[in-house]
Every structure is written in C-alpha cells, then in structure tokens.
Structure 1
Amino acid sequence: MSHRKTTPMGQPGDADLRLLRIYRKVVECGGFSAAEIELGISRAAISMAMSDLETRLGLRLCQRGRSGFALTEEGAEVYEASLQLLASVEGFRTRVNGLHSRLKGELNIGITDNLVTMPEMHITHALSALKERGPDVRINIRMIPPSDIELAVLDGRLHTGVVPALKTLPGLDYLSLYEEASQLYCSAEHPLFKSADITTKTLASYDAVVPAYAQTPEIKAIHEPLKAAASATDREGIAFLILSGRYIGYLPTHYAERWVRDGRIHALNPERWHYLTHYSAITRKGAQPNLVLESYLEELERLVSK
C-alpha cells in the first residue's frame, strides 16, 4: 500500500499570506480568468502563484484546464483554513492599528439576502459613517445564508453579521435592528389576483411556494395552510415563482414593493395573511478588541436608538 509523501508546512511568512490571498480570490471568483480583473494581475501570474502555493503546501489544490476550474478535497480544506488564518492576521493588524487615531483595517460583514430595500437603512448609513471616520477602512460584504453567517462570526471569519432572529446562540451578542413585514402575494396572471376575501380553504386549493430556509415555529405555522407545491432557498427564488403566475407565496413588503407599484403582483388579504421577522446584528462574545468593528457598532447603535 503506497502512502502519499507529506510535506509539513513551516511558519507562514508574508509570501505565503500573499499566495493565500490570491488563492482565496481565485476560489471566490470561480477560476483564474474571473480573478484576473479582481486581482489586477495576469492569468499567467495567477497560475504561477497557484503553482508556488501548491509546491509550498505539497498539495494539489485545484483542477484547471479545458474542463474548467474545480477544487480538490484538499483545496477546499485549505480554502476554509486560509479564511480563518487571514481573518486572524487581519484581526491582529486591526487591533494594532487601533492604537493609532486613524482607523485602518478591514470590516468583514455577512448579510442575509435581499435586505438592501429595507426602508430603515441602518446598515447602509452605519457603513457610510464608518467610511467617513476611517477612509482607509476596507469593507467586505458576503451575502450568505444566516446559518453560515453565524458560524463565520463564531469562528472569526466574519467580524459581524445581520441575520433573522430565529434562535439565540450562547456565543453571540445580538443588537436588534428592525422588523421586516411579509405578506402573501400572487401575480397579475394568477386567478386570485382580483379576489377580495380569501379564506383558508381557498388558499389550500392553489399551488404555493414555501421557504426552504429556517423559520420560527410561528412563521412555519402561518405557512401551514398553503398547498406547498414548490420551495425556494431564498426570497429571490420565491419571487421568481410568484411572478410566473402559477404560485402564491410570502415576500417581504419592501422587497415586493417594486412589483406591486408596477401592478405585477398583489397582496392577498394583507390584514390577515402577514407576519413579522426580527433582524439583529451579531458579533462574537469575547472577541479581541477591534477598533474598526467597535466604530461600526457605535454608528449602528446610534441609528437604532433614534
């Protein structure tokens, strides 16, 4: 039985961190070509950097060629480990820079999808104020599911996140931001579009799209009368199916407003068929002092308390 030769990695230096940052961008862009623009270096330079990193680690990180770009199992693990390492390095740099009066460093935020149209623009205004206080601060936003945001904040890959308040985790601190109203919608092509009073029995006779993501027991109960004929992993997917004219489903009112205004969708008995979702900003309990994060949270708290 043959054994793969292992090459233990020594202490990572500046050159290794540079290669890992290039690798992170290549993975996030899905290949060398797309990463060219993001990194501002040639595809040949990226290819050389990847070869150097694979040699340094003694691992094959990805498959590239005519068949396209794909991570190996080892490559996926190195990517996850690199996110933690780079976050730790950035955390150290941010903490040291906190000794100076001028804000420097990064703020890594995870946000649940489709919140940009919320009328209470707390996040947007807080980021604007942070940039005013620290022009050199680099802001990185990742649009990922709530469970991924919670995990990334807990393990330090993200400094903070915005998630629906479905459950409280002991390792996180929560700052309540706002409530999001959702209503039941159908499109202009749907038979219920012009119906006035709609009963539970009527709803149960029409196909509905239901969320495939986590919800509170109360919100799940509100969906129970619907005839679940389709599902979607996010609100954009729900909107796609409602706009097809074949399904009814719940959408946040701020997100649906554009289509309501154009007469393309209509809320069904909004006084009856609606619910609220609470959203919070989360941070890790006991995290190392971080002046950039603290400044952002100060602005966020100021806006929420108005």
Structure 2
Amino acid sequence: MGQEQKIISQLSNFDIRLLRVFRTVVNCGGFAAAEVELNISCSAISISMSDLEERLGLRLCQRGRAGFSLTNEGRLVYEASLQLMTSLETFRTQVNAIHHELKGELSIGITDNLVTLKHMQITKALQKLKQQGPQIKIQIRMIPPNDIERNVLDGGLNVGVIPQLRPLPGLEYQPLYDEKSLLYCNHEHLLFDMNDDDITAQLLYQCDAVAPAYAQLAQTKEHYQKLNTTATATDREGVAFLILTGCFIGYLPTHYAQRWVTSKEMRAICPQQLHFTTEYQLVLRKGACPNLVLDTFLREVNPKNIT
C-alpha cells in the first residue's frame, strides 16, 4: 500500500504519456497494430511499456510469439487509466468552459466508407469545430461498429457513428442519416448486360454473392438470405473488391458504388426491387460529464438533435 501511495503522489506528465501508450496498445490489440495509431516504432512502444511496468511495479501484459495479452494486474490498470483519462478530459473541458474557450480533444469512431456520403455532415462539422477552437486535437478511428460501442462505453471514444444495431445498456443513440444500398455486379459478370426484367430470383441465386461478416439488422439479413453467399467481407471495401472480380454480386451503398457506376465498371441489378436502407446514428455514453468540445461537435453535425 505504501508503494501505491508513493506512485499516485508522484504521478507526472511522463506517467500519463506512458498510460496513453498503454491504453492505445490495449485498444489496438498489440504492439504492431499500435504502431500506426501512435506513429512510433514497435521498439519505442516496447520501451514505453517497460518503463510503465517499472514505474508501477507491475507486470501489465504478456508479449511474445504467443501474442499480446493482459495480465490480471494489466486489466485493472487499464480500467483505472480509462477513469483517469476521462477525469483529466472532464477537468480540462470544465476549466475551458469557464473561459468560454474550445480546447481539448475530440475522439471519434466511425464506420468505414462514409466519407462519400454527401449528406453526412461530419467533415463540415469538424471544419466548424476546428474554426471555433483552433487548439482542439481531433482523433478519428475507423473501426467496426461493435468496437466503437465498446470504446464509447469505456471512455476511449467521445462519440461514434455507427449503423443502427441492437442498443446496448449504458449508451445513448441519436438518429443521424440514412444510407441506401443496391445490389451490384461488375461489367464482366453475366448479369451486367441483361435486362432487369429477365433477371429472376432463381437466376440471382445461381450467382455467387458476397455478404458482410459484421452484424446486420433482421430486415437487412432478409436480403442476403435470397442470395447464394459464397464469400464474406469484414467491411464494404472488401465487398467492393469481390464484386470487381466479376465473379460475385453484392450490396453496396449507392454513394460508395457511384465511382464504379460512373466508370461503367458496375451496375445496379433490379434497383426498384433489390434495395434496403441503413439508418446511421450517433452513439454516446449515458451520464457522461458535460464536454464543451463534444457538445459543439454534436450541434454542428446534427442540429436537429440539439434541444
């Protein structure tokens, strides 16, 4: 207990920096994956982790050929570090609010391939936020919806943009935008030159199809159940890769597929019948402390949700 009190009393900026590195390594699942996120080498990450373990007097993780994993002590330190970072950001935000200044950080998790959705106002909202607070630091993580929810819940992200799925306790969801998806094939596919009237359900089922490997709503799954799924992809870019082979058909958002439709590399199949809409929403942690930076971003990205 004496050592713990000594550690807490001597917590410094250097310790906080080491804890930020540790948190990123845990979120990314290992040293190698954290290199890009931290923009430092794997050896530098290893040194930081060793320094943190020495300063805390604890073994935080196992690393080696078997892969990266947290020790029991590492899990407790990780949870404590999340509380610490949240408290520091809350303090900074509240002090800045006293001065009516926008300073601090905004960390956002976004589902892949939304940048081409014209009515998605994230870019304009970030632009206005940065104009109002030039010193604000912005972090964007492109990760799957389930990871976004988990990171928002544990404080690793301030806000997320995800498709509508099953709501989780402890999170607040705000409607954002809709995204339309159609069934596409490549110009080398046998369906490309066929009239929609000649494409039957039986013919469609004879074609190989690609489906997403991530969670879908029940009404969306119904569209894939009518296809002969012989391939899966973890994101929409993977779906596009397989459609472009000319061997698969698959659903893509219209805004994302438009570049290939324009170049006549893809076409939509029976768009009047084969389509569905995905609702996107903002996800926030319930009961989170007031955050002037986050509130400003929310007001800019979706004014109708601000009361």
TM-score, with structure 2 as normaliser = 0.84
Tell me which amino acid in the other structure corresponds to 2:39. Answer: E
Q: CA RMSD of the aligned region, Å? A: 3.0
Deviation string, structure 1 residues 245-265 (Cα, Å, up to 9, x no partner):
111000001111111111111
Say which SS state the counterpart of residue 190 (structure 1) adopts.
Answer: coil
Change (3 A) 1:204 1:162: same
Say which SS state the counterpart of residue 176 (structure 1) adopts.
Answer: strand
Aligned pairs, how many?
294
Structure 1 partner of 2:300: 299
Change (3 A) 1:206 1:298: same
Residues 143-222 of structure 1 mapped to structure 2, 5 A cutoff? 143-197=142-196, 198-222=199-223
Tell me which amino acid in the other structure corresponds to 2:236. Answer: R
Residue 8 of structure 1: how far off its partner (Å): 5.6
Q: Which runs of 5+ in 1 are unaligned?
A: 1-6
Structure 2 partner of 1:117: 116
Change (3 A) 1:153 1:49: closer
Residue 104 of structure 1: how far off its partner (Å): 0.8
Distance 1:297 1:163 in 2: 15
Deviation string, structure 1 residues 118-164 (Cα, Å, up to 9, x no partner):
01131111111111111111111111111221222222221111111
Residue 215 of structure 1: how far off its partner (Å): 1.2
Residue 85 of structure 1: how far off its partner (Å): 3.5
Deviation string, structure 1 residues 194-250 (Cα, Å, up to 9, x no partner):
111211111111111111111111111111110011111211111111111111000
Does the 8 A contact of 2:161 with 2:280 survive in 1?
A: yes
Structure 1 partner of 2:99: 100
Q: Which runs of 5+ in 2 are unaligned?
A: none
Distance 1:34 1:113 in 2: 20
Distance 2:135 2:53 in 1: 32
Residue 62 of structure 1: how far off its partner (Å): 5.3
Residue 78 of structure 1: how far off its partner (Å): 6.8
Structure 2 partner of 1:272: 273
Deviation string, structure 1 residues 4-33 (Cα, Å, up to 9, x no partner):
xxx868427123212222344566594499
Residues 1-306 of structure 1 mapped to structure 2, 5 A cutoff? 10-11=7-8, 13-14=11-12, 15-24=14-23, 28=28, 30-31=31-32, 34=35, 38=39, 48-57=47-56, 58-59=58-59, 61=61, 63=63, 70-74=67-71, 77=75, 80-81=78-79, 82-197=81-196, 198-302=199-303
Tell me which amino acid in the other structure corresponds to 1:122. Answer: Q
Tell me which amino acid in the other structure corresponds to 1:112. Answer: T
Distance 1:36 1:137 in 2: 18
Does the 8 A contact of 1:32 with 1:46 survive in 2?
A: no
Distance 1:37 1:286 in 2: 29
Say which SS state the counterpart of residue 182 (structure 2) adopts.
Answer: strand
Distance 2:19 2:294 in 1: 24
